[in-house]
Amino acid sequence: MPGTLIISLDFELLWGIFDKVGNKYKPEYFENTRRIIPQMLDLFAKNQIGVTWATVGMLFAENEEEWKKYSPEFLPSYREKKYSAYDWSKVHGIKPEVHFAPDLIHLILDTPLQDLGSHTYAHYYTLMRGQSPDQFRQDLQASQKIAKDKFGIKLKSLVFPRNHINELYLGICLEEGFECVRGNPKNWFWQETQHEDLSKKIFRSADCFFPLGSSTSFSSESISNFPNEPLIIPASRILRPYSPDNAIFNKVRLNRIKQEMSEAAKKGEHYHLWWHPHNFGNNPKESMEELESLILHFDQLRSQYGMDSHSMESLSQKIKGIHAFADKA
% pLDDT > 90, the chain: 81
CA-atom Rg of the chain in angstroms: 19
pLDDT of residue 326: 56
Of 322 and 24, more confident? 24
Those residues with Cβ within 8 angstroms of residue 155's Cβ, 6 or more apart along the chain or in another chain: 116, 117, 118, 143, 144, 147, 177, 178
pLDDT of residue 51: 98
Q: Report how far apart, in Å, the C-alpha atoms of 320 and of each of 5, 155, 160, 269 are.
A: 17, 18, 21, 16
pLDDT of residue 213: 53
Of 246 and 189, more confident? 246
* DSSP 8-state assignment for residue 63: S
pLDDT of residue 200: 44
Those residues with Cβ within 8 angstroms of residue 237's Cβ, 6 or more apart along the chain or in another chain: 185, 208, 216, 256, 257, 260, 271, 272, 273, 274
Residue 329 pLDDT > 60: no
Strands 237-238 and 270-275: parallel
CA distance 319 to 108: 24
pLDDT of residue 211: 57
Those residues with Cβ within 8 angstroms of residue 131's Cβ, 6 or more apart along the chain or in another chain: 76, 77, 78, 124, 125
pLDDT of residue 172: 98
pLDDT band at residue 325, thresholds of 50, 70 and 90? very low
**What length is written for the chain?**
329
pTM across the whole model: 0.92
Are 20 and 287 contacting, i.e. CB atoms less than 8 angstroms apart? no
pLDDT of residue 167: 93
For the ranges 94-108, 175-189, 210-224, the one whose mean pLDDT is highest: 94-108
Are 115 and 179 contacting, i.e. CB atoms less than 8 angstroms apart? no
pLDDT of residue 226: 82
CA distance 282 to 278: 8
End-to-end CA distance of the chain: 18
CA distance 219 to 221: 5
Closest of 159, 144, 127, 196 to residue 272, by C-alpha: 159
Residue 328 pLDDT > 50: yes
CA distance 151 to 53: 15
Q: Please state, as a whole number, how many other Cβ atoms lie within 10 Å of the Cβ of residue 124.
A: 32
Residue 123 pLDDT > 90: yes
Averaged pLDDT for residues 291-302: 98
% pLDDT > 70, the chain: 89
* DSSP 8-state assignment for residue 53: E
Residue 319 pLDDT > 90: no
Q: Which domains does the chain have, with CATH numbers?
A: 4-328 (3.20.20.370)
pLDDT of residue 224: 77
Phi-psi sector, 99: left (phi>0), alpha (psi -120 to 50), beta = alpha
Of 91 and 197, more confident? 91
pLDDT of residue 223: 87
Those residues with Cβ within 8 angstroms of residue 133's Cβ, 6 or more apart along the chain or in another chain: 168, 169, 172
pLDDT, averaged across the chain = 91
Q: For 5-35, write each residue's pLDDT tens digit.
A: 999 999 999 999 999 998 889 999 999 999 9
Q: For 150-205, write each residue's pLDDT tens digit.
A: 999 999 999 999 999 999 999 999 999 999 999 987 744 445 554 454 554 544 45
Q: Please state, as a whole number, how many other Cβ atoms lie within 10 Å of the Cβ of residue 167.
A: 9
**Least confidently predicted of 163-172, 216-225, 274-283:** 216-225
What residues are paired with 309 via a beta bridge? Answer: 5
* 3 state DSSP class of 75: coil
Closest of 279, 129, 119, 278 to residue 195, by C-alpha: 129
pLDDT of residue 203: 45
* 3 state DSSP class of 119: coil
pLDDT band at residue 323, thresholds of 50, 70 and 90? low
CA distance 146 to 326: 37
